[in-house]
Structure 1
Amino acid sequence: MTDLDPAFERAVAELPDTPAWHELGVERARALEAEVFSGSADGDVGTADRAVERPGDDDATPVRLYRPPALDEPAPALVFAHGGGFVLGTLDSADDLARRLAATTGSVVVSVDYRLAPEHPCPAGLADVTTVVEWTVASADELGVDPAQVGVAGSSAGANLAAMAALRADAAVDIAVLFYPMLDPTLGGASHAEHADAPLLTRADIEWFWRLYRDDGAIPVDDRRLSPLPAAGGGPSSLADSPPTVVVTAGCDPLRDDGARYADALTDAGGTVERRHYPGAPHGFLSLADTVPAAADAWEDLAAAVPARR
Structure 2
Amino acid sequence: MDNKLDVMPLMTDQMKAVVRKQKELVEDAFATDVGYDEMRANYIKERRFWNEGGPVMSSTEEMALEGPAGPFRVRLYRPTASVEARPAIVYIHGGGFVVGNCDTHDRVCRLIAAGTDAVVASVDYHLSPESKFPTNIRECALAARHIHEHGAELGIDGDDISLAGDSGGAVLSMATNLWLRDEVGDNAYVKALLLYYGYYGLRDSCSRRLFGSSIDGLSKEDLAYYDSCWIGDLTDEALGSPYYDMLSNDLKTSMPGCYIASAGLDPLRDDSACLHAILDEMGVPNVYENFEGVLHAYIHHTRMLDEANVCIEHSVDFWKRRHEFA
TM-score, normalisation: structure 1: 0.90
The answer to whether structure 1 residue 157 and structure 2 residue 168 are counterparts is yes
Structure 2 unaligned blocks of 5 or more: 181-185
Q: Deviations over 1:230-256 (max 9, x none)?
A: 2xxx3xx35422110100111011111
Q: 1:194/1:136 Cα in 2 relative to 1: closer, same or farther (>3 Å)?
A: same
Task: Find the counterpart in structure 1 of residue 14 from structure 2.
Answer: 7
Task: Letter of the 2:44 partner, please give it.
Answer: A
Structure 1 or 2: more helix by fraction: 2
Provide the alpha-carbon RMSD of the alignment.
2.1
Residues 118-137 of structure 1 mapped to structure 2, 5 A cutoff: 118-137=129-148
Stretch moving more, 283-292 or 67-76:
67-76
Aligned-pair CA distance for 1:38? 4.4
Task: Find the counterpart in structure 2 of residue 44 from structure 1.
Answer: 56
Runs of 4+ in structure 1 deviating by more than 6 angstroms, as ranges, are none
Secondary structure at 2:129's aligned position in 1? coil
The answer to whether structure 1 residue 79 and structure 2 residue 90 are counterparts is yes
Stretch moving more, 102-111 or 195-204:
195-204
Task: Letter of the 2:131 partner, please give it.
Answer: H
Q: Following the alignment from structure 1 to structure 2, what is the Cα–Cα distance between the partners of residues 58 and 245?
A: 29
Residue from 313, 317, 323 that aligns with 1:304: 317
Residue from 283, 306, 311 that aligns with 1:270: 283
Task: Letter of the 2:121 partner, please give it.
Answer: V
Please tell me whether the aligned partners of residues 88 and 118 of structure 2 are also in contact (alpha carbons under 8 angstroms): yes
The answer to whether structure 1 residue 174 and structure 2 residue 185 are counterparts is no
Residue from 238, 243, 266 that aligns with 1:220: 238
Secondary structure at 1:297's aligned position in 2? helix
Please tell me whether the aligned partners of residues 157 and 183 of structure 1 are also in contact (alpha carbons under 8 angstroms): no
Alignment identity in percent?
25
Please tell me whether the aligned partners of residues 122 and 225 of structure 1 are also in contact (alpha carbons under 8 angstroms): no
The answer to whether structure 1 residue 66 and structure 2 residue 83 are counterparts is no
Q: Following the alignment from structure 1 to structure 2, what is the Cα–Cα distance between the partners of residues 184 and 63?
A: 27
Aligned-pair CA distance for 1:167? 1.9
Task: Letter of the 1:49 partner, please give it.
Answer: E
Task: Find the counterpart in structure 2 of residue 22 from structure 1.
Answer: 32
Q: 1:253/1:134 Cα in 2 relative to 1: closer, same or farther (>3 Å)?
A: same
Residue from 288, 294, 298 that aligns with 1:285: 298
Please tell me whether the aligned partners of residues 75 and 146 of structure 1 are also in contact (alpha carbons under 8 angstroms): yes
Q: 1:58/1:200 Cα in 2 relative to 1: closer, same or farther (>3 Å)?
A: closer
Secondary structure at 1:166's aligned position in 2? helix
Aligned-pair CA distance for 1:185? 6.1
Q: Following the alignment from structure 1 to structure 2, what is the Cα–Cα distance between the partners of residues 275 and 198?
A: 27
Secondary structure at 1:141's aligned position in 2? helix
Residue from 209, 213, 220 that aligns with 1:193: 209
The answer to whether structure 1 residue 34 and structure 2 residue 61 are counterparts is no
Task: Letter of the 1:195 partner, please give it.
Answer: F
Please tell me whether the aligned partners of residues 152 and 177 of structure 1 are also in contact (alpha carbons under 8 angstroms): yes
Stretch moving more, 262-271 or 125-134:
262-271
Aligned length: 302
Q: Deviations over 1:248-274 (max 9, x none)?
A: 111011111111111112222221111
Q: Deviations over 1:32-64 (max 9, x none)?
A: 11222248644421210101222xx58322110
Q: 1:274/1:58 Cα in 2 relative to 1: closer, same or farther (>3 Å)?
A: closer
